Amino acid sequence: MDYPTIHTNFWDGVIAVPAVVLLTQCFKVFPVPRQYFPTIASIIGFIISIFISHRGDLWAGIFMGAFYGAAAVGTYSSLKTTWLAFKYRKRKPKSP
């Protein structure tokens, strides 16, 4: 069995992952429960990877699609946590 050749390039980190984050955020207009957003991000990651970035190789598309979805969820979670910590720190009164 040969393992698929996977090329990580500019597309993966700079365009695909933010695209997954933005497309996932578009689903917030609909009444979707919050616990389904990681699944939505994974599905969008698989779709972008299989049908756009790794069109000729299904296994590479599945492999990288999992990374696109996971990276999008992690990026969003990290940014949200940082933003909430920053907001909380600004509101918190300084102790003498």
Walking along the chain (96 residues) 10 residues at a time, the average pLDDT comes out as 68 86 94 93 94 88 92 93 88 65
- Cβ neighbours for 23, distance < 8 A, ≥ 6 positions apart: 44
- What pTM does this model have? 0.79
Specify the pLDDT at position 12: 74
Specify the pLDDT at position 11: 74
Specify the pLDDT at position 14: 84
Specify the pLDDT at position 44: 96
CA–CA distance, 54 with 37 (Å, rounded to integer): 24
Specify the pLDDT at position 4: 64
